[in-house]
Amino acid sequence: TITDERHPTAEALPGFREVQPVVFCGLFPVDAAKFEDLRAAMGRLRLNDASFSYEMETSAALGFGFRCGFLGLLHLEIIQERLSREFDLDLIATAPSVVYGLHMRDGSIMELHNPADMPDVMQILEIHEPWIEATIFTPDEYLGGILKLCQDRRGIQKELSYVGARAMIKYELPLNEVVFDFYDRLKSISKGYASFDYNQIGRREGDLVKLSVLVNDEPVDALSMLTHRARAEQRGRAMCEKLKDLIPRQMFKIPIQAAIGGKVIARETISAMRKDVTAKCYGGDASRKRKLLDKQKAGKKRMRQFGKVEIPQEAFVAALKMDED
């Protein structure tokens, strides 16, 4: 709304609405000392891009950062690129998520931007997720692979036609299945020849669950996600296997678990580094060796109880970009 400086308008023109973000993700500086630089950079971007929104958030694993809202995947990539190029910031981005509608048992409707903030499932009646209508143009030889990709992402085929030598496919897809790595997979299958466009078509009820990741029995909020119940075990197992390869070994064993509510659906264990405490026992009674081993076992149990596992930054980056195939 444009107003006169001497006679400013108190209200915006009728019909004006603020743009609502569609995709959310957390942005955290790799170097914690750069947090204030990131805050200043986001403030400058916000001045010339009113559709970009952000608010401060804290992660137990990643420290201080911001929960950012974007109009779509392209907008997210542009903002990340600008922060990197124009402001020379190295960032960790959490997995993109969408806005879910939680229909509560008391009749209220709650908007959920961050899966880590999801309330107790006993309070939730239904979870509604946004859907899109996707239009994909592809050369005919890649059609089979693209149809399989869309089916795997819970897609509903609406149209298949040909425009010259290219196939045009229309699918209805959950936005949650698209924001993660759908576009990268599409380009990989089609060797870069497929094009992809989409528009939102509202929300629908979905059988969704919150997948939590626990390292040494401590939840890692940055890796929480909402996923379809049918894919939860596959995603949880892939996440546990990836983290097992990335987290360095400690003097005590580290359990890595994927859980839905209180039920563990996947688990991996990083074995402890072993020190040979019996090396100096060249002979004598076997009970002496047993006593030393029992003492070591008790010490490791105590270390696991009070020890804190530091998850390296590169582990987060790799885990969030995990390949599920």
* Residue-wise pLDDT tens digits, 214-264: 888 888 887 888 889 988 998 899 889 888 888 887 777 888 999 998 899
Predicted local distance difference test score (pLDDT) of residue 268: 92
Predicted local distance difference test score (pLDDT) of residue 304: 44
Fold that domain 100-205 belongs to in CATH: Alpha-Beta Plaits (3.30.70)
Overall average pLDDT of the 111-126 stretch:
88
Residue 325, pLDDT above cutoff 50: no
CATH number for the 23-94 domain, one of 3.40.1360.10, 3.40.50.2300, 3.30.70.870, 3.30.70.20? 3.30.70.870
Residue 103, pLDDT above cutoff 70: yes
Overall average pLDDT of the 2-27 stretch:
74
Q: Is 262 left (phi over 0), alpha (psi -120 to 50) or beta?
A: alpha
Predicted local distance difference test score (pLDDT) of residue 293: 62
Overall average pLDDT of the 28-46 stretch:
91
Q: What are the residue boundaries of the structural domains of the chain, listed by start?
A: 23-94, 100-205, 210-320
Dihedral of the CA atoms 74, 103, 224, 19 (nearest 10)? 20
Residue 10, pLDDT above cutoff 60: yes
At 218, is the secondary structure helix, strand, or coil? strand
DSSP string, 95-115: PPEEPEEEEETTS-EEEES-G
Predicted local distance difference test score (pLDDT) of residue 313: 62
Condensed to tens digits (0 to 9), the pLDDT of residues 79-88 reads 989 999 999 9
Choose from 11-15, 256-260, 281-285 the range with maximum mean pLDDT. 256-260
Query: Does the domain formed by 210-320 have CATH 3.40.50.1970?
Result: no
DSSP string, 54-82: EEEEEETTTEEEEEEEESSHHHHHHHHHH
The torsion angles phi and psi of 315, rounded to 5 degrees, stand at: -65, -40
The mean pLDDT of the chain is: 83
Instruction: State the burial class of residue 5 (Cβ atoms within 10 Å of its Cβ: 0-12, 13-18, 19+).
Output: exposed
Q: Higher-confidence residue: 3 or 139?
A: 139
Predicted local distance difference test score (pLDDT) of residue 280: 63
Cα dist from 232 to 140, 174, 209, whole Å: 32, 15, 8
Question: Tokens at residue 222, please?
Answer: 């940055």
Predicted local distance difference test score (pLDDT) of residue 163: 85
Condensed to tens digits (0 to 9), the pLDDT of residues 130-182 reads 999 999 999 999 999 999 999 999 999 999 999 888 999 999 999 888 887 78
Predicted local distance difference test score (pLDDT) of residue 264: 92
Overall average pLDDT of the 44-63 stretch:
86
Common-topology check for domains 23-94 and 210-320 = yes
The torsion angles phi and psi of 269, rounded to 5 degrees, stand at: -130, 130
Cite the beta strand spans of 87-165 per DSSP E.
91-93, 97-98, 100-104, 109-112, 124-139, 156-163
The amino acid present at 295, given as its one-letter code, is K
